[in-house]
Amino acid sequence: MSVQAPTLERAQDLLQKFYGYPDFREGQKKIVASMLEGNDTLGIMPTGGGKSICYQIPALLHEGLTIVVSPLISLMKDQVDALTTMGIAAAYINSTLSGREVNDRIRAARNGDLKLLYVAPERLELDWFRDEMAQLPISCVAVDEAHCVSQWGHDFRTSYLAVAPFVDGLYERPIVAAFTATATPQVMDDIVRLLRLRSPETFVTGLGRPNLAFSVLRGEDKRSFLLNYTREHEGESGIIYAATRKDVDDLYQRLCDAGMAAGRYHAGMTDQERADSQEGFLYDDIRVIVATNAFGMGIDKSNVRYVIHYNMPKNMEAYVQEAGRAGRDGDPSQCILLFGPQDIVTQKFLIEQNPQDEDRKRNDYRKLQQMVDYCYTTRCLRSAQLEYFGEAEEHEACGICSSCTDERELVDMTIDAQKIFSCIHRMRERYGVSMVASVLKGSRNKKVLQYGFDSLPTYGVMGNRTEKEIAEIINVLVSEGYLMLSEGQYPVVRLQQLAAEVLRGQRKVMQRVVRHATAFASGAGSRGRKGRDTYPAAVNETVFEQLRLIRRDLAAQEHVPSYIIFNDATLREMSVANPQSEADMLRIKGVGEVKFRKYGKPFLDFFQNQGNTGGMVSEDEIFADDVYEDFE
C-alpha cells in the first residue's frame, strides 16, 4: 500500500482532533509513517510512551478494520472506553460478553461500523472466530505486549503463537505491527520470527523516561518505610508490589489500620474482589493498591505518582514494566525498590516451584542474577537498565536516581577487594557468597572448620566487619564485573579479569558505603498532599483541585475513570493557562476537538466565571477532611 506524504499530515490533523496533541513524539512519528507506508513494523517503546496512538491513528486512515491483539480484559476495556469517549468507533470481544453481544459486534465490524476491534490472543485459536474474521476487510493486525510471544520473555503466553497462523488464514494479508515496552535483543528476534513479520521496520525508542526517578534502597525497615512514605503521599495514587500473597495481605491490613484508602490484588482473591479493587483504584476511590505481579499489565491509569517494590522482582523486564506504570502522564514520579537478601531466596523458591524445562530454569536464574546486580550497582540506574535492553551506546547519567544523587565521597576499597579476591582464589572458586564471607570473617561454623578453611591465610582477615557487610561488598563487586556468580539455585562466586588486575595492583576499587536513605519517606523529590515541590510555582493547586472536582462529576456521569476525561497533566496546564475561549482550550495538550465538544464547557465556564468569587471554593475548604475524602 503506497500512501502519499500528505497522509502523515492528515495523521497529525487527526491527532489534534481526537487526542488534542499538535504533533507526534519523535518515536511515534516514525512508526506511524512506517505503517502508513504499508510496512510490517516493530515498535519498542517505554511504558507511557504512547504505543496505542501508533496503531490507532493509522487505523483511522486505512480502509477496513484494525484487529488489536490484547492480553487482558481490563486493558481492552480501558482502551475502548478511551476511544469511544473521543468518538472513535471501537469495540472488544472477550469472555465477559454474551453470545448475542459477540454476534452484534462482529455484525458491526462486517457493516463497517468499527475501525478497531480488540481481541484476546486465545480468541485467534477458535475456528469459528477465524472463519468470521476471514470475511472482513482487515487492514492491520496490531499485536500489543508482543514480548508475550517469546518463551524468553517474562510473560510468555502460548496463545500468542496463534497470531501468525491467524494472519496467514486471512484472504488478503494485512499489515502486522507489534508493540512492547520491554524486549531484549533475543526477544526482539523472537517477535519478528514467531509473528512472521515481513521485512519489518524496527524502531526502538529509548527506554529512559526523564520524569521517573529510580531508587534502590538496601537495609531499610521495609514496613516502616512504606507506612511513612504512604502517609507523606496520601493524596497521591501509588502501587506497591510484593512477591507473595501473604505479604500483600499483611501490608494491605497495615495500611488500612493506619487509615489509608488502600486496596489489594492477588490471584487468591475472587474475580469480583479483584475487579472491585481494580475499579476502585482506577476511579481514585482507592489511593494505594498493594498487589502481586498479577496486577497492572495494561492498566492505563495516568496519574500513578509512585511505584514501590517491596521485594526485588524476578528479572529486569518485569521490573521496568511494573515500575513504568508510574508517571504515564509525564509528571515527576518515584520508582523505589526496597531490596533485602531474603528477596533472592524468595525468587529462587518461586523459580523452583514453577514447572519448566531446564533451559528455561537456567535462563530464569541468569536473569535473576542480573536483577541482583542491578540492586547492588553504584552506576546510574537508568543507564544500567538501558544497557540491559541492548541500548549499548554511551548514555549521560540521569542525575535523579539514587546512584546519581548519592553525594558521599568514594572510598578506596582496594585492600578489602584484594582480601576478598585472594580468599575466593584460595577456596578454588567453588563456594558461594555466604561461605566466602564466613571465612573472611573468621567464623567457627561447622562447614568452615570441616573444610579446613580456618587454616587459609585469608581466614579472619576481615574480622572487623560482619558477615552481612562482607557479603554486601562481594555482591557490589559482582555487579561491577570484578566477580561473577554461576547460574543455578546455589551460585558459586568466581573471579573475573578485572579482579586479576586488582590483585596485581593495576586497578583500584572505589566504592560507597551502604546507603541509609530516608529522604524519600519525607517527601523529597515528589509531591505531598497538596502537590508541593515538584511542579512549577505557576501551577495553581487550588484551581487544579477544583478542576479535579469538575472532572470527577463528568467521569461519574460517563461511568469511566477520571483520567479518560482529561489526565492530571492536562488539568495542570489548564490551571496555568487560564483559558477564556474555545481556541484557548484547544491549545492545551490533551484537549482535542471531540473532547472539547463533549467535556470542555464545564471547564471553560469555570475559568470564565473565576472573577465571581462567590462561585469559588477556598483552599481550606478543598483540603477539609470531609471534602478531601469525598473526591479522593
Region for residue 112 given its phi and psi (left: phi exceeds 0; alpha: psi -120 to 50; beta: otherwise): left
330 in any annotated domain: yes
Q: Max alpha carbon distance in the chain (Å)? A: 86
Same domain, 416 and 556: no
pLDDT in tens, 276-299: 888 888 888 899 999 988 676 556
507 in any annotated domain: yes
The number of C-alpha atoms within 13 Å of 396 and in the hemisphere containing its C-beta is 5
Mean pLDDT of the chain: 84
Region for residue 13 given its phi and psi (left: phi exceeds 0; alpha: psi -120 to 50; beta: otherwise): alpha
Return the closest-CA partner of residue 153 out of 161, 162, 142: 161
Banded model confidence at residue 26, pLDDT cuts 50, 70, 90: confident
- What are the backbone angles phi and psi of residue 90, rounded to the nearest 5°? -145, 155
Same domain, 91 and 191: yes
Domain that holds residue 466: 411-511
Q: Quick one: pLDDT at residue 520?
A: 44
Same domain, 379 and 447: no
Return the closest-CA partner of residue 48 out of 27, 23, 22, 74: 27
Q: What is the DSSP letter of 489?
A: S
The whole-angstrom separation of Cα 623 and Cα 615 is 17
The whole-angstrom separation of Cα 301 and Cα 292 is 17
Same domain, 369 and 416: no
pTM of this structure: 0.70
pLDDT in tens, 517-555: 434 443 333 333 333 334 444 566 778 888 988 998 888
Domain harbouring 371, CATH code: 3.40.50.300
Q: Quick one: pLDDT at residue 361?
A: 84
Which among 388, 422, 450 is the end of a domain?
388
Same domain, 131 and 280: no
Region for residue 612 given its phi and psi (left: phi exceeds 0; alpha: psi -120 to 50; beta: otherwise): beta
Q: Which three cell numbers stand for residue 103?
A: 454476534
pLDDT in tens, 598-630: 898 899 888 888 744 333 434 343 333 333 233
More confident residue, 42 or 408: 42
Same domain, 255 and 374: yes
Q: Quick one: pLDDT at residue 612?
A: 44
DSSP string spanning 276-337? HHHHHHHTTSSSEEEE-TTS-TT---TTEEEEEESS--SSHHHHHHHHTTS-TTSS-EEEEE
402 in any annotated domain: no
Same domain, 126 and 226: no
pLDDT exceeds cutoff 80 at 469: yes
CA-to-CA dists, residue 525 to 258, 368, 520, 533, angstroms: 24, 29, 7, 7
Same domain, 338 and 368: yes
Q: Quick one: pLDDT at residue 613?
A: 39
Q: Quick one: pLDDT at residue 624?
A: 36
What is the end-to-end Cα distance of the chain in Å, rounded?
49
The total of structural domains in the chain comes to 4
Return the closest-CA partner of residue 148 out of 165, 133, 163, 160: 160
Q: Quick one: pLDDT at residue 196?
A: 95
Same domain, 501 and 352: no
The whole-angstrom separation of Cα 75 and Cα 218 is 34
Banded model confidence at residue 347, pLDDT cuts 50, 70, 90: confident
Q: What is the DSSP letter of 103?
A: H
Same domain, 455 and 594: no
pLDDT exceeds cutoff 90 at 513: no
526 in any annotated domain: no
3-state SS string over 568-609? HHHHHHHHHHCCCCHHHHHCCCCCCHHHHHHHHHHHHHHHHC
